[in-house]
Amino acid sequence: MPNDNYYKFSITSERKPVAVPDYYYTEPQTAILRGELFHCFGEIIIAQGATKICQLKTGDIDTYAFGLRVESNITTMTYKMIEAPTITDGTTALTAINFNRDSDKSALYRLFVDPTNVSGGTVIKEYRHYSLPNSPVQTTMDGNGTFIKLKRNTSYALSFTNNDNAEKKLFSQFIIMEGA
């Protein structure tokens, strides 16, 4: 007699098997093997009470914001991801590094550190992080293990606000998956 409590395969809410392509193409482990998982990182300095904006421009391919890691000694920081703002494109891009070091694929997305004239758009993520004033490092994990499917050929503003009363440094790593 079959046991319906344990399925060999992933199932939908209607208790039907999930088609292999539905989960295969969005698994980061599989994306690494296909050469479609990338990361870029950088350190920025944010003045007291100021906001630093980075620009993520997607290409004509499915693009997933898979993860963001931020380390900083900012005691109160706000992070926002804003979809389709009015923006003057940046000119200084961070290098996207393929997690599969045997792959020759290059990322189609671009992450710029110097866009200007940013306004409007739709806030699709917002986080506020707090740490004790004497804490040496604040570490934040956002979305690692989950992802957002981004719109094709769209700009996103990634906004970091230093709510502290002194200039601070911030180091960030973005993990982006393309394909499917």
Task: Sketch out the chain's domains with CATH numbers.
Answer: 20-178 (2.60.120)
Give 85-119 pLDDT, tens digit per residue. Answer: 999 999 999 999 999 999 999 999 999 999 999 99
Which residues have CB under 8 Å from 83's CB, separation 6+? 121, 122, 123, 124, 150, 151, 154, 156
Q: Which residue has the tokens 């100021």?
A: 50
Predicted confidence (pLDDT) at residue 2 exceeds the cutoff of 60: no
CA distances from 9 to 2, 19, 24, 33, 180 (A): 14, 9, 12, 21, 20
Average pLDDT, the chain: 83
**How far apart are the C-alpha atoms of 138 and 140, rounded to whole Å?**
7
With bands split at pLDDT 50, 70 and 90, how would you rate the model's confidence at 69? confident
Tell me the pTM: 0.80
Pick the residue with more confidence: 148 or 29?
148
Strands 86-88 and 155-162: unpaired
Q: Which residue has the tokens 């710029």?
A: 112
- When pLDDT is averaged across residues 139-165 and rounded to a whole number, the result is 82
Q: Which of 8-12, 82-86, 162-166, 172-176 has the highest mean pLDDT?
A: 82-86
Give 20-67 pLDDT, tens digit per residue. Answer: 555 555 667 778 888 899 999 999 999 999 999 999 999 999 999 887
Q: What's residue 6's pLDDT?
A: 44
